[in-house]
Structure 1
Amino acid sequence: MITIDGSYGEGGGQILRTAVALSAITGTPVRIINIRANRLNPGLRPQHLHAILALKELSGARVKGASVGSRELEFHPGKLKGGKVRVPIKTAGSITLVLQALLPAAAFAEREVEFEITGGTDVPWSPPVDYLKNVTLFALDRMGLRAKLEIRRRGHYPKGGGLVVGQVEPWMEKKPLRVEKLGKVIGFEGISHATNLPAHVAERQARAARERLREFYDAPVEIATEVSRSLGPGSGIVVWAETDCLRLGGDALGERGKPAEKVGREAAEELLSQLEKGACVDKFLGDQLIPFLAFTGGEIEVAEVTRHLVTNVWVVEKFFGKVFEVEGEIGKPGKVKVVRRVEI
């Protein structure tokens, strides 16, 4: 059994998600201590618990310590068979954080995995579901991993109620990913959404983002608007750049009293700040790619080496030994190179 200290590095839920996913993939039992020790609310939160339960169902695992607030967990995996997985987060717990654990394991299942997850689609401190769908899955497709995702209903903090469904095919061909310097921005796309709010909120967010991006780039900008109903109000926008390598993204959430124009500008400015670094991988995607990159090999240049990225490297290497070389300081641009590809 591998023991992993959950207080290492950024000390958040990502250690747990990556460790349990790799446990399911390798069939190696794992014990995680000091779970989320560096957070104000230490221990398992609902979205972490449901990620564990999803992987338990997917792999037929035995689990000890799977309860909200638990600071220690043991995960003894069985076989990744595939099939249907339902994850009913009864709060606005992040659907994308659950998928960060589920996607890598599902890719190694014997047959296709179909998932249905309820919870938060657009909530603070986690990637919006549109980013995962249009930026993360785009990069994974380049690596040979086929996954689809559909947003059936939005879910905002604090009520949640979002619904996301999708499929992950068995990962048959693992293609190395080699993307370094960003060459050309081809255009911009995005989705601006408003739930239980007037349509003009989504339209104003989109217009502000479009105008900001056009100040810096002479390229097409296509931002769709979406107006919907769900359990509670909320709004947000995700924009991404189509480039000659991968997609880079930026996002922002609406808040009570925050003008829609400010939300749109924030998303555009976040994306612009990533593009100016000249790397093919934005700071949000970098750490998400680490568990997959271990199995494909390759080299990526990131707009920023984050604590999340360094922590994910550490977790992967607890299972497999030396896999990566990371160049660059935390908070600055850098490179990640696979020096030894993992075979399963």
Structure 2
Amino acid sequence: MTEYLDIDGSVLEGGGQILRISISLSAILGVPVRVTNIRAGRSKPGLAAQHLKGIQLVGDMCQAKMRGVNIGSTEIEFSPGKIRGGDYVADTHTAGSISLLLQVALPCALVADGPVTLQLRGGTNADMAPQVDYMARVFRAQLHAFGADFALRVHRRGYFPKGGGHVSAEVSPVRSLRGACVTQRGDVTAVCGDSFVAGVLPLKLAHEMAEGAKSELKSVFNNVNINCYKEDRTMAPDNCSGINLWCSLSSGCELGAGALGRRGADARGVGRTAGAELRRAIESGACLDQHAQDQVILYMALAEGKSRVRVGEITLHTKTAMHIAELIAKIKFEVQPDGDQNIIECTGLGFTNRNLPPE
């Protein structure tokens, strides 16, 4: 009879993030988990399509035995097998975030027994989640610190409410992750971005978003370069507007921010929202922005040796990620205040990918 590690899905952030990190670590470490009270505090408790497809994707990758993996379920059981390389597909059939599918599957792909290709369908630019452009640039830079990488290609854009986006990710497995020391950020070397419109929306909205962003960023960097463009109808047939911003630091770190337009919203205001977010990240003195902060926790838990990262205020998502990682991986995170920032520190498991054949 399978023994499951019980995880309360209602603690702290109490949402999909608990599921993502629980399922990823379960698959990687071979620890069967039972997650209860899934999204208990949400207006619609239980699994939504977004969470369902992420769990099923990892389940396919490791031939897991699963129970309760259906829409609306508030309890699931997940018993993993070996993570195998190959081609895998996940389709939310909604505008559910492709970035969140990548978040749950990428760590597993890195410890597969061979190369992995992920075909992910859903929303490329969605609210309440990082845009895929952020994952391709900012998060990828953070992952390099752990000695891992992936390649992302956008085949088609997908927006709310229809979705229909298509992104492929190519992942080569690693034998282990190295401990990362990301505490020296250096100087700002560039601030740039992309401001886009799609469908029937006029290009002037992209320029207005860029102007709004620049007005917020001029106090931290003079030469802000934002590319304004209209997506080709073959790439993005539906209506959407948005902006992605990046800050490159001399240490190799990247900070990011973004915002999406919505019906009736002032385009300059959308740009100002993204610009203010990036300005705050720059002014914070942190090496990771608030979106990357919680995403690196799993990698710190698995890495060899000590990892240290400099962040701003610890987010609820990060507190949740640390709690679940400590529960499953049996490691300990420490948070040390350092001036206006915090240092998150962890001595990782030193996990070795035994799925790979011997060299």
Q: Which moved more, 1:217-226 or 1:123-132?
A: 217-226
Question: Paired residue for 1:210?
Answer: 214
2:228 and 2:258 map into 1 onto residues whose CA distance is: 14
Counterparts in 2 of 1:101-112, with a 5 A limit?
A: 101-112=104-115
**Residues 39 and 231 of structure 1, relative CA distance in 2, 3 Å threshold:** farther
1:86-123 deviation digits (Å, cap 9, x = unpaired) = 11110111111111101111111011110111111111
Q: Which moved more, 1:255-264 or 1:216-225?
A: 216-225
Equivalent residue in structure 2 for 1:319, among 328, 346, 349: 328
Equivalent residue in structure 2 for 1:21, among 15, 21, 24: 24
Secondary structure of the residue aligned to 1:228 is: coil
Q: Which moved more, 1:221-230 or 1:98-107?
A: 221-230
Q: Is the 8 A contact 2:307 2:348 kept in 1?
A: no
| Paired amino acid for 1:278 | G
1:74 and 1:327 map into 2 onto residues whose CA distance is: 35
Equivalent residue in structure 2 for 1:256, among 240, 254, 263: 263
Task: Provide TM-score, normalisation by structure 1.
Answer: 0.94
Q: Is the 8 A contact 1:88 1:118 kept in 2?
A: yes
1:309-332 deviation digits (Å, cap 9, x = unpaired) = 011011111112233112359xx8
2:137 and 2:227 map into 1 onto residues whose CA distance is: 13
Question: 1:67, CA displacement in angstroms?
Answer: 0.6
1:231 and 1:89 map into 2 onto residues whose CA distance is: 18
Q: Is the 8 A contact 2:121 2:164 kept in 1?
A: yes
Question: Paired residue for 1:289?
Answer: 296
2:81 and 2:227 map into 1 onto residues whose CA distance is: 44
Equivalent residue in structure 2 for 1:339, among 340, 347, 351: 347
Question: Paired residue for 2:318?
Answer: 309
Q: Is the 8 A contact 2:334 2:345 kept in 1?
A: yes
| Paired amino acid for 2:351 | E
**Residues 32 and 231 of structure 1, relative CA distance in 2, 3 Å threshold:** farther
1:209 and 1:256 map into 2 onto residues whose CA distance is: 19
Of all paired residues, the percent bearing the same amino acid is 37
Unmatched 5+ stretches in structure 1: none
Equivalent residue in structure 1 for 2:275, among 238, 252, 268: 268
Counterparts in 2 of 1:137-156, with a 5 A limit?
A: 137-156=140-159
Task: Provide TM-score, normalisation by structure 2.
Answer: 0.90
Question: Paired residue for 1:300?
Answer: 309
Aligned residue-pair number: 342
Question: 1:11, CA displacement in angstroms?
Answer: 0.5
| Paired amino acid for 2:269 | K
Question: 1:308, CA displacement in angstroms?
Answer: 0.5
Question: Paired residue for 1:241?
Answer: 247
| 1:30 maps to 2:23 | no
Q: Is the 8 A contact 1:185 1:219 kept in 2?
A: no
Question: Paired residue for 1:119?
Answer: 122
Question: Paired residue for 2:356?
Answer: none
Unmatched 5+ stretches in structure 2: 353-359
2:244 and 2:86 map into 1 onto residues whose CA distance is: 31
**Residues 265 and 282 of structure 1, relative CA distance in 2, 3 Å threshold:** same
Q: Is the 8 A contact 1:123 1:157 kept in 2?
A: yes
Q: Is the 8 A contact 1:305 1:333 kept in 2?
A: no
Q: Is the 8 A contact 1:130 1:191 kept in 2?
A: no
Secondary structure of the residue aligned to 1:240 is: strand
Q: Which moved more, 1:194-203 or 1:5-14?
A: 194-203
Moved over 4 A (4+): none
1:139-168 deviation digits (Å, cap 9, x = unpaired) = 102221120111121111111111111111
1:173 and 1:243 map into 2 onto residues whose CA distance is: 27
1:142 and 1:71 map into 2 onto residues whose CA distance is: 36
